[in-house]
Amino acid sequence: MAPVARHTSRRSRLRRIPFLRILFLAVCVIFVVLPLYWVFVTSIKPSDDYLAIPPVWFPDKPTLVHYTAALFAYRGLNGLINSLIVSISATFLSCLFGTLMAYSLARFNTGGQHLSFWVLSQRFLPPIAIVLPIFLNYRVLGLNDTHVGLILAYTVFTLPVSVWMMFAYFRQMPRSLEEAALVDGCTRWTSFWRVAVPLAIPGIVAAAIFTFIACWTEFFFALVLTSRNAYTLPTVFRAFLSFQGAQYGEASALAIVSLVPSIVLGVLVQKHLVRGLTLGAIRG
Amino acid sequence: MMTGAAADVGPKDGRQRPSARTSDTWFKWLLVAPAAVLILAISIYPLLFSIWVLFVNYDFQIPGHAFVGLKNFKQVIFDPVAVYSLWVTVALSTINVVVEFLLGLAIAMAMANTFRGRGVLISVLIVPLFISPIIVGQVWVLMLHSPFGPTNYLLSQLLGYEVTIKWLTGFPWNFVALILADVWQWTPFMFVILLAGLTSIPPHVYEAAELDGVGPWQTFWYITVPYIAPMMLLAVTFRLLDAIRLFDTIFIMTGGGPGTSTYSASYYLYTIGFTQFHLSRATAGAWIFMILTLLVVFLLVRRLLTMESK
């Protein structure tokens, strides 16, 4: 009985979607997709086509020359490799340290509310206010324009995300298994490392992906803290600022190279999105 | 649903032996240590160090670090561009957040009921969230380019006459362009959070209202809004605190121009600090900006906490 009833009510709801609502959602989808389609199609257009009126919606002779130019002539490949090195390292450190801290906050209430809010407050500081002092200190330490410098900066600025996401995850995890392990004679460390962490792997993976996307798409810190050596993919776009119009193919190709990985990862963790965006405050 | 930040996370210390409790103390602080040390070293220490920078000359154009008192602050406060950039930040972030909130709420309402293809539709609509803001800016440079971009062309086709808007260089279109890019990227943020709020409302509440003959507007104002008010406040708070950072799209779309007309606070401080290298003046401005931000944080986050504890 029940499934049938649900089925019919669902069908009637399907039929009740009014035309205006469909039109509204269709306009929204076009608004989202059109710019992305335009970048993609510009990236494969021969150079004559992107300065054509009316605009060319699909080129007769698609080409990949802009991709090779963007990756090699504009050194986008170096940026790509630097982005990978920095983002992966910072994600690893942030999630490792974040998980350790989150476990302590969730199970022992370490430092009370003050400590957890102190970490959270880092998320709300304006980047310009932090990056100036970091720049001055890195100058003394010789960390400007190094991978290590950028990795440390990214680790710190993503810690609020990883700590708070894992904090929320550990809090909703029952502690009975860890307590059973303690009763069986495990130390605190083994009950954490061998029992709690393996159970928290799904949460850690989600936190890691959000951290990675945050590092991968970050521009401001990279702009200030790197120049010729450790520059990341987003900062390569500076090269296209001075040439109005002429470099659109290369800029589009580089945009596609940069946005595809983060979009794929983002859609993969879609079901954790609400937790990720609100640092675990809302369970999606 | 909300998980209270101040929820019951108390340790069960009571039934443990004293020796176990001491080792627990060590253990819990050891776990916290790596993250805390890193934040202290990379964020807090430089901030404290920069307090010294505030009151001395730290400028790549003027050698030496002589004590200058409040000169750095005066130079920022009496710079008309600084004050102007602060107003640009306030205006743009307010408009952005309001537009994104209303649009995000409308989309969430339109999708609150399940229908075929809803999951796929959500996947498409959230895509802009995962793109670097600098690339979003670059994408809109391509879209809005005059005369070769598709926007003016499509508008001409729709309106029936030739549209030749200079989106990136003409007032007020340069502001419209910046808003467009921001709304494109961040409306999904509002949409996703508000949709989670809407779907958490139990259907029987609506059914009861329908039985009592309550109209759709009343249902919206007296059931939907109060129910998702905490999520609304959370979404607006988080979004606003990011919106006031506004830098990347300005950097790539207008370069602050024409002239200094699209300078945001972050962009202004960046040019003072890193293209003119008046580092101590930029630091003074950054501290003023940070304190103003923290006031907003304090007000909004406190509202959020009192709402959550209810």
Query: Is residue A284, in this structure, part of any structural domain at all?
Result: no
Question: Which residues of chain B make contact with A267, given a CB cutoff of 8 A?
Answer: 123, 126-127, 130
- At B56 the three-state DSSP class reads strand
In angstroms, the Cα distances linking B190 to A153, B104, B108, B186, B187 are 28, 5, 9, 7, 5
Contact B193, B265 (CB under 8 A): no
How far is the C-alpha of A26 from the C-alpha of A41, rounded, in Å?
21
The answer to whether residues A225 and A271 belong to one domain is yes
- Whether the per-residue pLDDT at A15 is higher than 60: the answer is no
pLDDT tens digits for A216-231? 999 999 999 999 999 9
The answer to whether residues A142 and A31 belong to one domain is no
The answer to whether residues A61 and A75 belong to one domain is no
- Decide if A25 and B58 are in contact by the 8 Å CB cutoff: no
Domains of chain B, start order:
73-130+185-309 (1.10.3720.10)
The answer to whether residues A24 and A159 belong to one domain is no
- Whether the per-residue pLDDT at B300 is higher than 80: the answer is yes
The answer to whether residues A78 and A161 belong to one domain is yes
Q: Which of A67, A90, A111 is the last residue of a domain?
A: A67
Residue of chain A whose Cα is closest to the Cα of B108: A25
- Decide if A273 and B252 are in contact by the 8 Å CB cutoff: no
The answer to whether residues A225 and A184 belong to one domain is yes
- Whether the per-residue pLDDT at A156 is higher than 90: the answer is yes
Q: Which of A38, A67, A96 is the last residue of a domain?
A: A67
- At A74 the three-state DSSP class reads coil
- Decide if B35 and A159 are in contact by the 8 Å CB cutoff: yes
Q: Which residues pair with B59 in a beta bridge?
A: B62
The answer to whether residues A61 and A122 belong to one domain is no
The answer to whether residues A16 and A114 belong to one domain is no
Question: Which residues of chain A make contact with B102, given a CB cutoff of 8 A?
Answer: none
pLDDT tens digits for B234-261? 999 999 989 999 999 999 999 887 889 9
Query: Is residue A283, in this structure, part of any structural domain at all?
Result: no
pLDDT tens digits for A248-270? 888 999 999 999 999 999 998 88
At A119, which CATH number?
A: 1.10.3720.10
Candidate from B6, B31, B129 with C-beta closest to A103? B31
Residue of chain B whose Cα is closest to the Cα of A191: B27
Question: Which residues of chain B make contact with A116, given a CB cutoff of 8 A?
Answer: 5
- Whether the per-residue pLDDT at B308 is higher than 70: the answer is no
Alpha carbon B159 to its chain centroid, in Å, reads 34
- Estimate the share of chain B in helix, then strand, then coil, as percent rounded to the nearest 5: 70, 0, 25
- Higher-pLDDT residue of A282 and A216 is A216
Q: Which of A67, A94, A109 is the last residue of a domain?
A: A67
- Decide if B106 and A163 are in contact by the 8 Å CB cutoff: no
Question: Which residues of chain B make contact with A183, given a CB cutoff of 8 A?
Answer: none
Query: Is residue A206, in this structure, part of any structural domain at all?
Result: yes
Interface ipTM: 0.88
Query: Is residue A87, in this structure, part of any structural domain at all?
Result: yes
Query: Is residue A17, in this structure, part of any structural domain at all?
Result: yes
- Decide if B234 and A278 are in contact by the 8 Å CB cutoff: yes
Query: Is residue A32, in this structure, part of any structural domain at all?
Result: yes
Contact A156, A122 (CB under 8 A): yes
Which conformational region is residue A189 in: left (phi greater than 0), alpha (psi within -120 to 50 degrees), or beta?
A: alpha
- Decide if A156 and B38 are in contact by the 8 Å CB cutoff: yes
Using CB atoms within 10 Å of the CB of residue B99, give its burial: 0 to 12 exposed, 13 to 18 middle, 19+ buried.
middle
Q: Which residue has the tokens 């006459």?
A: B161
Q: Which residue has the tokens 């004559």?
A: A48
Candidate from B42, B135, B255 with C-beta closest to A241? B255
- Decide if A282 and B139 are in contact by the 8 Å CB cutoff: no
Structural domain count of chain A: 2
Residue of chain A whose Cα is closest to the Cα of B228: A282
- Decide if A132 and B128 are in contact by the 8 Å CB cutoff: no
Candidate from A163, A266, A282 with C-beta closest to B2? A282
- Higher-pLDDT residue of A154 and B170 is A154
Candidate from B46, B110, B126 with C-beta closest to A134? B46
pLDDT tens digits for B43-57? 999 999 899 989 988
The answer to whether residues A125 and A139 belong to one domain is yes
Residue of chain A whose Cα is closest to the Cα of B308: A281
- Whether the per-residue pLDDT at B2 is higher than 70: the answer is no
- Decide if A100 and B297 are in contact by the 8 Å CB cutoff: no
Q: Which residues are within 8 A (CB) of B47 and not within 5 positions of it... i.e. 6 or more apart? A: A129, A130, A133
- Decide if B134 and A36 are in contact by the 8 Å CB cutoff: no
- Decide if B132 and A258 are in contact by the 8 Å CB cutoff: yes
Candidate from B42, B116, B125 with C-beta closest to A28? B125
Q: In a mutagenesis test of the B interface, which of A6, A14, A128 is the best target, namely the one with the most B β-carbons within 10 Å?
A: A128
The answer to whether residues A153 and A48 belong to one domain is no
- Decide if A237 and B39 are in contact by the 8 Å CB cutoff: no
pLDDT tens digits for B76-121? 899 999 999 999 999 999 999 999 999 999 999 999 888 888 889 9
The answer to whether residues A193 and A239 belong to one domain is yes
B243 Cα to chain A: minimum distance (Å):
10
In angstroms, the Cα distances linking A25 to A205, A273, B117, B157 are 32, 21, 12, 22
Q: Which domain holds residue A39?
A: 2-67
- Decide if A25 and B110 are in contact by the 8 Å CB cutoff: yes
- Whether the per-residue pLDDT at B131 is higher than 60: the answer is yes
- Average pLDDT rounded to a whole number, residues A126-142: 90
Question: Which residues of chain B make contact with A101, given a CB cutoff of 8 A?
Answer: 31-32, 34-36
Listed range (A98-102, A260-264, B22-26, B268-272) with the worst mean pLDDT:
B22-26
Contact B213, B127 (CB under 8 A): no
pLDDT band at residue B11 under the 50/70/90 scheme: very low
B65 Cα to chain A: minimum distance (Å):
13
- Decide if A98 and B46 are in contact by the 8 Å CB cutoff: no
Question: Which residues of chain B make contact with A280, given a CB cutoff of 8 A?
Answer: 3
Query: Is residue A241, in this structure, part of any structural domain at all?
Result: yes
- Decide if B143 and A38 are in contact by the 8 Å CB cutoff: yes
pLDDT band at residue A102 under the 50/70/90 scheme: very high
- At A41 the three-state DSSP class reads helix
Candidate from A28, A104, A134 with C-beta closest to B107? A28
Residue of chain A whose Cα is closest to the Cα of B244: A126
Query: Is residue A267, in this structure, part of any structural domain at all?
Result: yes
**Count of helices and strands (H, E) across chain B:** 14, 0
The answer to whether residues A58 and A76 belong to one domain is no
Give the DSSP per-residue string, A193-246: IIIIHHHTHHHHHHHHHHHHHHHHT--HHHHHH-SSSS--GGGGGGGGTSSTTT
pLDDT band at residue B309 under the 50/70/90 scheme: low
- Number of A/B CB contacts below 8 angstroms equals 293
